[in-house]
Structure 1
Amino acid sequence: VNMSEGIEKIMIQLHESLDDEVLSQLHIAPNVYPPEDFAEMDKWKELGINAVEFDLEVMDPAYFNAICPGKSKAYPFEYWKEAQETAVEIFGRGRGVFQSMVSGIEPMSSLVEGVEERISKGIYSAPLVFVPTPGSPYEQFRPPNAQWFVETNEKIADIYFRYADTLDVNLLTDNRPGFTRVGLSYPLIIFRDEMARRLQEEGKFPPGLPSQDFIE
């Protein structure tokens, strides 16, 4: 079964299990490799997919080749970026296309510059905190200190506030269920807490989100 066939089977099951009103409220976003034919993404949208996730993991192409040998063997770095940009044309800017990234592997400058370059194209990035898992190839890799992560995530929050109004849906005020929902604290994506803190400080915290009283 190829990727598109797998997506079609899943969407058929969802349509059989849920009514159209419920489906319309879901943020359905497969985390997959880009298709060989970008036109396949139009078919995904017809099936009810409303977003895609193509994870670059890092923003420096040299790090991509070293850290992600499987992904770089499947497709070169620029192909992944082209797939993301094509997906923006199909699914929209912001909620339509996103990627998870690992912060703490590459230099702060390439990570932050890469996040801004991607959001300028309508691609949302969620930087996960690098954790050297015991038993993994990177268990001896020393991550940056806490101040590095604080500074990095403050810079990324600055970027998202700067570009918020350029997206199809303002990610700072969107309170629908889904990956981009601001306010749900998650220890590996700490920039969301920084965004929520700033929104609360400005009295702009979206309605319907969990209380942020724990944020000081």
Structure 2
Amino acid sequence: MDAVDVWLADARVPDDALPAMFAVLDEQERRRHASIVHAIDRRRFVVAHAVTRRLVGAALDAPPHELRWAHNPNGKPSLTGPYTGVEVNLSHSGDLVMVAVSARRPVGVDLQRVVPTLDCAAMARRFYPSTEAAEVAGDGGHERFAELWARKESLVKAAGARLTRGLATPVAGAAPVVVEHDGPFRIEDLTAPAGFRAAVALAGDAPFTVTQHELR
């Protein structure tokens, strides 16, 4: 059975750890970092991408700073150059970072904060199928909205597609769910910290195992 490993990391690292993390980023990542307005978001970007490089480098026995990425027209990254052989995806929300690594199948992962102040019922009516919007309108709507959004975004990221279309794709039901999005994708819910919801998706309908780790 195929397997996916998912790591959860905290972006609140000591200040003296940041220079070494920044040093492993490539030129494209450094340009993106320079374009970010807020200092806290720049810090989170550095940690998220350095952690991803560390994990992928360990999986491939490759120096993290030598990893290179190509992006499809919708922005989905994939490894290119001399070090390839795994599929990887990154998500971050607030101070948390989540990275998924799959040995073979395209993977998407998403971590969503539950936002009690969000008008989730209105958002669901705008973007979700009507049956899912009705679920969000009931008790526990904010949690259900975040759970469905995490599933949808993990699907979109695995497919390398556009988010707007993915939000309209039905993903409700008891996990795991298998959905069509220019081919089948299997979605599993993940264990997430209090106040968050998370999901991982792999291309194809075959079952897979998930192992979750906390990176310290």
* TM-score calculated relative to the size of structure 2: 0.29
User: Which protein, 1 or 2, shows the higher relative CO under an 8 Å CA cutoff with sep ≥ 6?
Assistant: 2
* TM-score calculated relative to the size of structure 1: 0.29
Greater strand percent: which structure? Answer: 2
Greater helix percent: which structure? Answer: 1
